[in-house]
A and B are shown apart, each in its own frame.
Chain A
Amino acid sequence: MTPSAEELSIVGKSLIKPDAFSKVSGQTKFADDLALPRMIYGRILRSPHPHARILHVDTSRARAHPGVLAVLTGDDLPVKFGILPVSQDEEALARERVRYVGDPIAAVAATDEWIADEALDLIEVQFQALPPVMSIEQAIAGDGEPIHGKSNVHKTVALEFGDTGEAMRAAAHVREDTVFFEGSTHLPMEQHAALAQVAADGKLTLWTSSQTPHYVHRALGKVLEMPMSRIRVIATPNGGGFGGKSDIFSHELVAAKLALVTGRPVKITLTREEVFYAHRGRHPVLMKVKTGFTKDGRITAMQFQSFLDGGGYGSYGVASTYYTGALQATTYAIPRYRFEAVRLFTNKPPCGPKRGHGTPQPRFALETHLDKVAEELGIDPVEIRLRNLPKADSRTVNWLRITSFGLEECINKVVEGSGFLKRRTSMPRGRGLGFAVSCYLSGAGTAIYWNDMPHSEVQLKLDRNGGVSLLCGAIDIGQGSDHILAAIVAEVLGVSLEDIQLTTADTDLTPIDLGSYSSRVTFMAGNAAKAAAEKVRDRLFEAAARALQCDRDELVARDHRIVRRNRPADGMDFAQAVQLAESDGGVVTGTGSYTPPKLGGPYKGSGVGPSPAYSYSAAVVEVDCDTRTGEVRVPEVWIAHDIGRAINPMLVIGQVEGSVYMALGEALMEEQTFRLGLHKFPSLLEYKSPTALETPIMHTYLVETIDREGPFGAKEAGQGPLLPVIPAVANAIYNALGVRIDEVPITPDKVLKAMNDKAKRVGPKSVPAFDFPPLIKADVPDEWKGK
């Protein structure tokens, strides 16, 4: 049974996280802070062409350059790789073809970074330029040479749950909207870095700024053609990730190969410009949403189409494609649902997962669409959503299992807090309020490699004087996962955070955690930590019960003691219990694992979307628009998040505030645009992101629904709260100015253009003609049959 807040001493408290002082003192060692004796430096030569055939690479002058110890080309690393088993389409160094400006071609290791840079200039590459494909429309048109294989189409999806066509014909009201989300990049402040070392016995160690050391481990084994048992991957604390460090990157494989070739430790740190090319950021997505309603605003059917601009390689793209259609029905009870999607290759840096992976784009489409429908039907934006909410403990038409459900409470909090309903009709021109809601996963229910093994594992070892060693594959990327693990274990064992020694994300030492992606660590590694702690506590209770001559069920662990619940004076110190248990049965260790329940529906593609629990968010955003310049300022935001239970409310609020910040950057300023195949803004100065001066007042409300499967009832916090903010900005601008900007980012020029437009709108007018494959008519859950 889940304990109440009063029974908890660490979980639920805003305590200082274990790594806080190391971070504020500058002692945290990020990947580029590491240096080893005899270390040399690697640099990578990248393509200046968006699309070209490589005819010849001449490295002889670079090899002869003093200080250069090795030069690699694609022939040295010929095995292809990719994060998803179905998309093994990348090469560490391109051999025959480059597919975006920045695609790696060759690498140099030298005694000095400057020398390595000079050597890159000495590598001569002969290219045959090919016409680049720079847009969704161009990719579909398919003129010129396909980027991969026989066409630019990477992935298509065509699914239908119930007969949406019939429902549309019968609907009292039908509306269709077309919108575009341009995409953006993660922009972590730390550039990616990796350091490789080969020991005298031939064993390779790679330190890397990665959210997913387990998948890097797999890729190193594959590409280097070495057994994984001879490779150790250590993820260093990430200086921000946001999804941008959850792929396998060329520089990780190249650093390892250079270390193997030279026998010297090799470090590669990307420049800021290279980080823009490494990308794997938010996909540009063109979307069409069509929904049928009853006259009182209840959804009868939805048809959703997504066109994803994937960039040059597959990356997570297959999953991203499905995600653009996965979570529509977790916020609204949609009885019949059709989803068609296509991901296209283009000659841009590869897109992948950024905070909210594949779901902020359709959320933008859906939430602006619902506001438009509400206006047409004469219903207020809050009411139309309330009328369509699903229920707790229900299933969506596409088979997603909803358990705890706090969306209604989230809506009430922000609507009341902001005075939304009253204030939105009484604001002066230029000022407005917008509202939107959303949902996100607490971890992907399906692993990237399909198998029956746990997704998270934790190992504990207790010390004779009461210390607790905690080992887990999870890596802290700033989200506070170290704290979550330590807090859960400390809570169960009745010790303090300071007693927990963390070792994380080291493939030699720590049991598996699949990585810090899909908002999975609190839920999955948290459950594994809880299970491990309960196991070792059982051993302590057993030994203590014998000594105290009581029943073990009478014992509790708290305040560094094991005591009888009803006679707290009757007990012993925690360390004493450890000593007794160790005397009884040897070293006191325990492991815990977490495997999510099998939740996917009976159709192909059902692996993307299921999660053991969904978080919910609602937001109200206030805007202040300058009608002369088109500039949009956000003075205030109200946001509520259904966190299940906040293991550390201060850290959860930090995740919510960071999500709001990132969403506002995406909504209003971050531009991922290209000119002649070149990224227009590959620098921190010109790729505009919000500064301290743009920070709004934020009112954060945490809603606790105590999820029955979450550790102590917890769900995710890192990604979900970003989602409602972007459409709420667009809805607020409509409220302020009466213009619809159906395109993200909403830059001042678009606002001005819309104000001067006859239809008071900026956005795509249609989607390109595309032959989606025949619809797969999926079975629907019994409760939806006949609806």
Chain B
Amino acid sequence: MSIPERVAVRLRVNGEEAALMVPPYKTLLEVLREDMGLTGTKHGCELGECSTCGVLVDGKPFLSCLSMPLDLEGREITTVEGMSANGRSHPLQIAFAELGAAQCGYCTPAMLLTAKALLDRDPHPSRGAIMEALAGVLCRCTGYLKIFEAVELAASRAGTPAR
């Protein structure tokens, strides 16, 4: 391979339109991190096994390491950077901070987005529903308990204004 060809792609990320020229083989994960500077999205395997790279596409959890940007034109992509608005953290982010649900913080963006997709669909999930929803996102630090508790805390505060 010599210098890679680039193709034009239009992505809508965190509510903003972006027009980019990227090599067509680059995954959404790579484009977010390397071409858009959105390094909040992490990688753990780049094989679709750990969900560390999870983002939301049209509000649903999506593995950015297995997604091609050209397939996602016209879709609404949300990364962890899009969770807070106008400098205000999302209730899930506040609850994660308050309860120590982020230890190393590496799986945290995907964990938060996956939890957000759950709460958007089911604002008061049972413990079992939380465990089920987060089962695909691996965390090696916390033992998951504080994460469950943080999701429950955020859910219990639904409707109260964000900090």
Interfacial residues, chain A to chain B (CB-CB below 8 A): 14, 16-17, 19-30, 32-33, 35, 66-67, 112, 114-115, 118, 186-191, 237-242, 271-272, 477-480, 650-651, 653-654, 657-662, 683-685, 689, 691-693, 695, 698
A interface footprint on B1-31 (CB within 8 Å = 1, 0 otherwise): 1111000000000000000000001000000
Cα(A190)–Cα(B105), bound, Å = 10
Q: Give the residue name and chain of the B residue nearest to A686 (CB).
A: B49
Tell me which of B4, B50, B130 contacts A112 (CB under 8 A).
B4
Q: Is the CB of B102 within 8 A of A20?
A: yes
Tell me which of B4, B39, B41 contacts A29 (CB under 8 A).
B39
B137 is an interface residue with CB less than 8 A from chain A: yes
Q: Is the CB of A698 within 8 A of B49?
A: no
Q: Give the residue name and chain of the B residue nearest to A23 (CB).
A: B105
Q: Is the CB of A480 within 8 A of B79?
A: no
B45 to chain A, nearest CB (A): 4
B60 is an interface residue with CB less than 8 A from chain A: no
Contacts of B4 in A (CB 8 A): 112, 114
Q: Is the CB of A478 within 8 A of B80?
A: no
Q: Is the CB of B105 within 8 A of A237?
A: yes
Cα(A689)–Cα(B50), bound, Å = 11
Q: Give the residue name and chain of the A residue nearest to B81 (CB).
A: A26
Contacts of A239 in B (CB 8 A): 42, 104-106
Tell me which of A19, A118, A657 contacts B1 (CB under 8 A).
A118
Chain A interface mostly? loop
Instruction: List 7 A-B pairs, minimum CB-CB distance, nearest first.
Output: A26-B40, A478-B104, A23-B105, A661-B143, A239-B106, A26-B80, A478-B103
Tell me which of B47, B106, B107, B140 contacts A242 (CB under 8 A).
B140
Q: Give the residue name and chain of the B residue nearest to A16 (CB).
A: B97
Could you say which interface size class chain B belongs to?
35 or more
Q: Is the CB of B44 within 8 A of A191?
A: yes
Cα(A22)–Cα(B93), bound, Å = 10
Contacts of A66 in B (CB 8 A): 1-3
Q: Is the CB of B145 within 8 A of A240?
A: no
Cα(A662)–Cα(B109), bound, Å = 21
Contacts of B130 in A (CB 8 A): 692
Q: Is the CB of A24 within 8 A of B89?
A: yes
- Interface residues in B30-55 (C-beta closer than 8 Å to A): 33-34, 39-47, 49-50, 52
Q: Give the residue name and chain of the A residue nearest to B107 (CB).
A: A189
Contacts of A188 in B (CB 8 A): 104, 106, 140
B75 is an interface residue with CB less than 8 A from chain A: no
Cα(A115)–Cα(B25), bound, Å = 13
Cα(A239)–Cα(B148), bound, Å = 20
- Interface residues in B106-143 (C-beta closer than 8 Å to A): 106-109, 112, 130-132, 134-143
Tell me which of A22, A67, A272, A657 contacts B143 (CB under 8 A).
A657
Q: Is the CB of B47 within 8 A of A683?
A: yes
Q: Is the CB of A189 within 8 A of B106?
A: yes
Q: Is the CB of A695 within 8 A of B148?
A: yes
Contacts of B145 in A (CB 8 A): 657, 695, 698
Cα(A479)–Cα(B100), bound, Å = 10
Tell me which of A14, A27, A240 contacts B104 (CB under 8 A).
A240
Q: Is the CB of A189 within 8 A of B52?
A: yes
Cα(A271)–Cα(B89), bound, Å = 32
Tell me which of A35, A189, A242 contacts B139 (CB under 8 A).
A189
Residue among B79, B104, B134, B148 with the highest chain A CB neighbour number at 10 A: B104
Q: Is the CB of B138 within 8 A of A691?
A: yes
Q: Is the CB of B49 within 8 A of A26?
A: no
B1 to chain A, nearest CB (A): 6
B162 is an interface residue with CB less than 8 A from chain A: no
Tell me which of B34, B41, B100 contacts A35 (CB under 8 A).
B34
Q: Is the CB of B146 within 8 A of A189?
A: no
Could you list some 17 contacts between A and B, CB below 8 A? A19-B105, A21-B89, A25-B40, A33-B39, A66-B2, A67-B2, A186-B140, A189-B44, A189-B107, A190-B104, A191-B43, A237-B104, A272-B46, A650-B99, A657-B146, A692-B130, A698-B145
Cα(A89)–Cα(B4), bound, Å = 40
Contacts of B94 in A (CB 8 A): 24
Cα(A66)–Cα(B2), bound, Å = 6
Q: Give the residue name and chain of the B residue nearest to A272 (CB).
A: B45
Q: Is the CB of B49 within 8 A of A685?
A: yes
Cα(A683)–Cα(B44), bound, Å = 10
Contacts of A22 in B (CB 8 A): 105
Contacts of A241 in B (CB 8 A): 104
A15 to chain B, nearest CB (A): 9
Q: Is the CB of B143 within 8 A of A695?
A: yes
**Known interface pairs A20-B98, A23-B105, A692-B134; 16 further A-B residue pairs with C-beta atoms within 8 A, sorted by A's residue number:** A20-B96, A23-B102, A24-B93, A25-B40, A25-B80, A25-B84, A25-B89, A26-B79, A26-B109, A67-B1, A189-B42, A651-B100, A653-B100, A659-B143, A661-B143, A684-B45
